Amino acid sequence: MKSFEKKSPWILHYDATSCNGCDIEVLASLTPRYDIERFGMVNTGNPKHADVFLITGSVNAQSLPVVRRLYSQMLEPKVVVAVGICANSGGVFRDCYNVLGGVDKAIPVDVYVPGCAARPESIIDGVERALDILEKKAKMLHDGRLQELQEMDKLPPMPDFSAKKEAVV
C-alpha cells in the first residue's frame, strides 16, 4: 500500500530563468496525452499547498531570493526536482555574470532531471522518483522526527555573488 504522500503529490512549478523550453514540457505533462493527474498530481502554483518543488532554469541574482523564499514557505515533507540541464548545473548559462548556477547552489535538490528540454516522460519519471524520497521524509515526520527533517531540508547559507561579479568587472 502506497502512502498518501505518494498518491497525492501537489506540485509547485517555478521558472527560475528557464528559456521556457522546459516549462512547455512541464505543461505538456498536464495534457491528455500524459495526464499527470492520473497519479494524483496537481499543479498548485502555491508553495503553501505544494509537496514537490519543480524548478526549471538556472538560478540567477533575480530569482535566487524567490527560489529560497518559495522553498522555505513549503511545509514538510517536501522535495525539490530540478528539471532540465540549466536547473541541474546552469547549463549553457553557467558562466553568465548574473547566473549562480544550478538550483542546488540555492536550495537542497533531491532529484535531477536532465535534458534540454527535459521530456514529459522524464519529468514524470523524475517526480515519481522524488516521491520515494517524499515518502521517506513523510515517514520521518510521522515518527516525530520533525526537527531532524527540518535540519535536513534547511536552507543553505545565502550564496555569495561578489566573487563572480568582481571577476566579470
Partner 1 sequence: MPLLSFLIAFPLVAAVILLLVRSDKQRLVIVKIAAAVVAATAVITAAVFFKSGTVNIKINSEAFSRIVLILEIVLCGVIAFLSFRAKRILVGLLSITETALIVWFELAVGESLTVQADVVIDHLVIIMILIVGIIGSTITVYALGYMKDFQEKEKDVADRRPFFFFVMYLFLAAMFGLVLSNNLLNMYFCWEVTSFSSFLLIGYTGTKEAEHNSFRALWMNLLGGLAFAVAIVMLGCYDGTVEISRMIILGTKGADVVLPAALLVFAGLTKAAQMPFSSWLVGAMVAPTPTSALLHSSTMVKAGVFLIIRLGPVLGNNMAGILAMFAGSFTFLFASFAAISQSNGKKVLAYSTISNLGLIVCCAGIGTFESEWTAIMLVIFHAVSKSLMFLTVGTAEHHVGSRNIECFDGLFTKMPQLATCMVLGICAMFLAPFGMLISKWAAIKAFVDSGHALLLFALVFGSAATLFFWAKWLGKITAIVPEQKNVEKTVHGEEWFAIKGLSILTVITCVFFPMISSSVVVPYLKDIFHAATEVISEGNLITMSLMVIILVLLPVISSGHNKKKHTSINLSGVNAGSDVAFRGSISDTVPLSLRNWYLEDLFGEKKVMSLGNVVNIVTIAVVFSLLFGGMFHV
Partner 2 sequence: MSKTLTAVLAGIAYVIFAPLLGGLLTGLDRKITAHVQRRKGPPVLQPFYDVFKLLGKENASINSAQDFYVGIFLLFTILSGIFFFTGGDILMVMLTATLAGVCLVVAAYSSNSPFSQMGAERELMQDMSYEPMLLVTAIGFYLVTGSFRVEKIISGPRVNIAFLPGIFIGLCFALIIKFRKSPFDISMSHEAHQEIVQGVVTEFSGPMLAMVQLAHWYENVVLFGIVALFFVWDAPWSFLLGLACCAGVFILGIVIDNSCARVKWQHMLRSSWIMTLAAGCVNLLVLMAMR
The binding site for partner 1 (CB under 8 A) comprises 14, 46-48, 62, 65-67, 69-70, 73, 75
Question: To which H or E segment does residue 98 belong?
Answer: none
Kindly indicate which of the ranges 5-13, 59-67, 96-104, 110-118 contains the residues binding partner 2, using the contact rule CB under 8 A: 5-13
CB of 123 to partner 1, least distance (A): 21
Please return the burial class of 94, using the count of CB atoms within 10 Å of its CB with bins 0-12, 13-18 and 19+.
middle
Decide which of partner 2, partner 1, none touches 96; Cβ closer than 5 to 8 Å per partner kind: none
Question: Which of the stretches 1-9, 79-87, 91-99, 103-111 binds partner 2 when contact is defined by CB under 8 A?
Answer: 1-9
To the nearest whole angstrom, how small is the minimum distance from the Cβ of residue 129 to partner 2? 18
DSSP 46: -
Which residues fall within 8 angstroms of residue 125, CB to CB, at 6 or more apart?
113
Are 15 and 60 in contact by the 8 Å Cβ rule? The answer is no
- Least distance in Å: CB of 100 to partner 2? 26
136 contacts: CB under 8 Å, gap ≥ 6: none
Name the binder of 110 from partner 1, partner 2, none, CB < 5-8 A by kind: none
- DSSP calls for 110-125: SEEE--TTPPHHHHHH
Of residues 42-101, those binding partner 2 (CB under 8 A): 42-46, 48-49, 51, 75-77
Cα–Cα distance measured from residue 111 to residue 28, given in angstroms and rounded to the nearest whole number:
20
Q: Which of partner 2, partner 1, none has residue 62 at its interface (CB below 5 to 8 Å by kind)?
A: partner 1
Whose cell is 524567490? That residue is 66
Kindly list the residues in this chain that would bind partner 2 in the complex (CB under 8 A): 4-5, 7-8, 10, 32, 35, 37-40, 42-46, 48-49, 51, 75-77, 138, 141-142, 146
